[in-house]
Amino acid sequence: MTVLVTGGAGYIGSHMVLELLEAGEKVVVLDNLSTGFRWAVPASVPLVVGDFGDEDLVTETLARYDVESIVHFAAKIVVPDSVTDPLGYYLNNTAKARTLIECAVDSGVRNFIFSSTAAVYGDPQHNPVMEDEPLKPLSPYGRSKLMVEWMLQDAANAHDLHYAVLRYFNVAGADPKGRAGQSTAQATHLIKVAVQAALGHRPGMELFGTDYATPDGSCVRDYIQVSDLAAAHMDALRYLRAGGENITCNCGYAHGYSVLEVIDVVKKVSGVDFPVKISGRRAGDPAAIVAGNDKIKSVLGWTPKYDDLEQIVRQALHWEQHLHRMGTANSARIAPAKIAPAK
């Protein structure tokens, strides 16, 4: 019995693969390498290069590896891009996910764990936000994910398919053992950008908005460490295998930091006072969003280990330095000599 990880060559997926291997699971990765990296997949893990919307390829992969569970990470994730290219997002994140779910049902895959997002809540009325709050996504990205949540609910009602939907808040940091991290040079995420500024890999950074109704005027987010997030997926997998009911959980620490606080921590940890330009608000940013996490803790038994912003920033800094040492921060070109060839 094997676990199929779509997007396993990407940021969160590559941490999930490590988590699964440490738990002694058999794993196969399906990734089209559009944003992931071949070298991010350990040599012991088969990598199928292709699209999760390719019905024939997925069906063949599910059969060949005797797949029992799917953890579906592969997606387009840049919120502003989803505003300019909504149909691209609905094709990739929604329509292709429908194909993947159908293949899962037709092939008798029992468990499906889905990467959803806090973006399904939009700008929540209450924080921490609970799973049963109204769902009002502000972007095509959020809607493209929410539609998959609905498809999974309906498919699970009709078929022998069991799901866990995990709504991620702001994923950050890197593998504490230094084996994986966020490798996309063009990433737009706050901690990645600030770390690049601290290391001089970019001239500085912009801070989008200081006039929000938050304690210091900048946006507040709940930054969850990526290995803690991968561990939540393992907990969800064990739960489903034990016969747990279909479930939707927030993934976050139930407390947040403002953008200004994050920048201060990056400056403190790096020892570099990099330039920060105060700019206007970025379209579609909610003022504050923090995860209610009672459910994931009580039902899945999730116990976070890295709820420490300084540690998260340190991990991100180390990974960025590692990428840089390898010769490029965008690494299709990272030296294959150091990296086991993919299968």
Q: Is 190 in the site for ligand UFG (CB under 6 A)?
A: yes
In contact, 114 and 164? CB cutoff 8 Å: yes
Nearest-approach distance from CB 2 to ligand UFG, in angstroms: 28
Q: Which is nearer to ligand UFG, 110 or 201 (CB)?
A: 201
Q: Which is nearer to ligand UFG, 14 or 117 (CB)?
A: 117
Binding segment for ligand UFG (CB under 6 A), chosen from 8-16, 61-69, 115-123, 294-302, is 115-123
Structure tokens at 195: 């770390």
Angle at 211 between CA 209 and CA 212, to 5 degrees: 90
**Full DSSP string of 90-156:** IIIIIIHHHHHHHHHHHHT--EEEEEEEGGGG-S-SSSSBPTTS----SSHHHHHHHHHHHHHHHHH
CA–CA distances in Å: residue 294 to residues 27, 103, 182, 249, 298: 30, 33, 28, 9, 6
Between CA 71 and CA 37 the distance in angstroms is 18
Residues 6+ apart with CB under 8 A from 293: 128, 249, 250, 251, 252, 253, 254, 302
Q: Is 282 in the site for ligand UFG (CB under 6 A)?
A: yes
Residues 6+ apart with CB under 8 A from 198: 266, 267, 270, 272, 274, 317
Q: Is 219 in the site for ligand UFG (CB under 6 A)?
A: yes
Q: Is 193 in the site for ligand UFG (CB under 6 A)?
A: yes
3-state secondary structure of 168: strand
Q: Is 96 in the site for ligand UFG (CB under 6 A)?
A: no
Partnered with residue 283 across adjacent β-strands are none
Q: Which is nearer to ligand UFG, 3 or 191 (CB)?
A: 191
Examine the residue annotation and report whether 223 is marked as an active-site residue of this protein. Answer: no
Residues in 238-277 that interact with ligand UFG by CB under 6 A: 259
Nearest-approach distance from CB 219 to ligand UFG, in angstroms: 3
Exactly one of 6, 32, 94, 117 binds ligand UFG (CB under 6 A); which one? Answer: 117
Q: Is 221 in the site for ligand UFG (CB under 6 A)?
A: yes
Q: Is 70 in the site for ligand UFG (CB under 6 A)?
A: no
Find the catalytic residue in 89, 141, 163, 257: 141
| Count of residues in contact with ligand UFG, rule CB under 6 A | 20
Binding track over 158-187 against ligand UFG, x by CB under 6 A: ------------x-----------------
Between CA 172 and CA 107 the distance in angstroms is 34
Q: Is 206 in the site for ligand UFG (CB under 6 A)?
A: yes
For 262, counting Cβ atoms within 10 Å of its Cβ (0-12 exposed, 13-18 middle, 19+ buried), the class is buried
Q: Which is nearer to ligand UFG, 202 or 324 (CB)?
A: 202
Q: Is 74 in the site for ligand UFG (CB under 6 A)?
A: no
Exactly one of 174, 289, 290, 329 binds ligand UFG (CB under 6 A); which one? Answer: 289
- Residues that are catalytic: 141
Chain residues that interact with ligand UFG, rule: CB under 6 A = 77, 79, 117-119, 170, 188-190, 193, 205-208, 219, 221, 259, 282, 285, 289
